[in-house]
Chain A
Amino acid sequence: GAVVSQHPSRVICKSGTSVKIECRSLDFQATTMFWYRQFPKKSLMLMATSNEGSKATYEQGVEKDKFLINHASLTLSTLTVTSAHPEDSSFYICSAIRQGLNGYTFGSGTRLTVV
């Protein structure tokens, strides 16, 4: 149980375009999801907390207009990288909390390359 599916696993896009990444909880309802970003050989840095039915809470330094987060249902959160630039190339990974089950479940991550 407690499976989180993240798609796509890998995407290459042109500068200036937008990319949407989906994070789904397959067998539980996730009222809260987290989005992280990881640069090569670095640890995971929290970008934002996504709450179902409300606006996401962004960490300091993360542009909310650039990284749009939508959590419209209890099983789906999306991260849209708008007007992507090469410096947005990174590994993005989502995480969800299953209520009543301690611990966090992670998606398999999305490798974004902006060319």
Chain B
Amino acid sequence: KQEVTQIPAALSVPEGENLVLNCSFTDSAIYNLQWFRQDPGKGLTSLLLIQSSQREQTSGRLNASLDKSSGRSTLYIAASQPGDSATYLCAVVTGTGNTPLVFGKGTRLSVIA
């Protein structure tokens, strides 16, 4: 059974700092991996999607990497801003791609102005 772990559970950084969020998964036979952002009491916003054949994806100040063989992914946020404060969730799809996402517990990020 696929299990997804995110470290750290919470993180507080000063504005402007670069930071890395970590995600690991137990079954390397993934179809893809997705990073989401969730604001308190809100739904999920997809940030980056990495296919199993890819090693990284970039969007603005965000960069996600994937090391499928070691079961790891990182989300790099450059020049953090207070508006980046949210919970970041890592999720994977295992198998053929028509199966549900398995989520980590998330990292709660606070960026202090």
Query: Which residues does A use to contact B, with CB under 8 Å?
Result: 6, 32, 34, 41-44, 46, 49, 91, 93, 95, 97, 102-109, 111
A35 CB to closest chain B CB, in angstroms? 9
CB-based contact A103/B34 at 8 Å: yes
User: Does B83 belong to the interface (CB within 8 Å)?
Assistant: no
New contact pairs (6) apart from A34-B101, A43-B105, CB-CB < 8 Å: A32-B98, A34-B100, A104-B101, A106-B36, A106-B43, A111-B41
Name the prevailing secondary structure of the B interface residues.
strand
Given A43-B106, A44-B89, A102-B49 in contact, is the A107-B43 Cβ separation under 8 Å?
A: yes
Return the CB mask of B28-54 against A: 1 if under 8 Å, else 0: 000010101000011110100101000
Q: How many A-B residue pairs have CB under 8 A?
A: 50
Query: Which residues does B use to contact A, with CB under 8 Å?
Result: 32, 34, 36, 41-44, 46, 49, 51, 89, 91, 93, 97-98, 100-106, 108
Q: Which residue of B lies closest to A93 (CB)?
A: B43
Query: Which residue among A32, A34, A43, A106 has the maximum number of chain B CB atoms within 10 Å of its CB?
Result: A43
CB-based contact B97/A108 at 8 Å: no
Question: Which one of B34, B43, B51, B105 lies within 8 Å of A109 (CB-CB)?
Answer: B43
A–B Cβ pairs within 8 angstroms, 26 of them:
A6-B43, A34-B101, A41-B108, A43-B89, A43-B104, A43-B106, A44-B44, A44-B101, A44-B103, A95-B101, A97-B98, A102-B49, A103-B34, A103-B46, A103-B49, A104-B34, A104-B46, A104-B91, A104-B93, A104-B101, A106-B44, A106-B46, A108-B42, A108-B43, A109-B41, A109-B43
